[in-house]
Amino acid sequence: MATLAPALLSAALTIAGLVLFGLAPREKVPVGLHLEESFPFVFMQLSLCAVGAAVAWRQPRNPIGWLLSAGGLAAGVEFLAAGYMTYGLLSEGGL
């Protein structure tokens, strides 16, 4: 279960970031921060976590799996922070 924890946490952070991006008023969001423009990054981030979890699950002593999982987890934290920033700055009344 410990090998799946980074992937599950990253998925939860990504979903929370997507929700925050979706809640931001569309007319105020600058180019490059729209929800549909972030899907390639979401795919990359979830792929990193999935491959990292698969490698770490099959070979727990292999550092590559853990590095891929950590990279996906860091991308999930960044995605949540970007969604939080977008929603907080552009919504009426902030957070």
Instruction: Give yes or no for a contact between 27 and 89, defined as CB atoms under 8 angstroms apart.
Output: no
Position 4 confidence tier, pLDDT thresholds 50, 70, 90: confident
Rounded mean pLDDT, 72-91:
90
CA pseudo-torsion sign 28, 33, 39, 43 = negative
Would you state the structure tokens that stand for residue 36, as one six-digit string? 């549909």
Identify the pLDDT of residue 94.
67
Does 38 have pLDDT greater than 90? no
Q: What share of the chain in percent tops pLDDT 70?
A: 97
Could you tell me the residue ranges of all domains in the chain?
Answer: 33-89
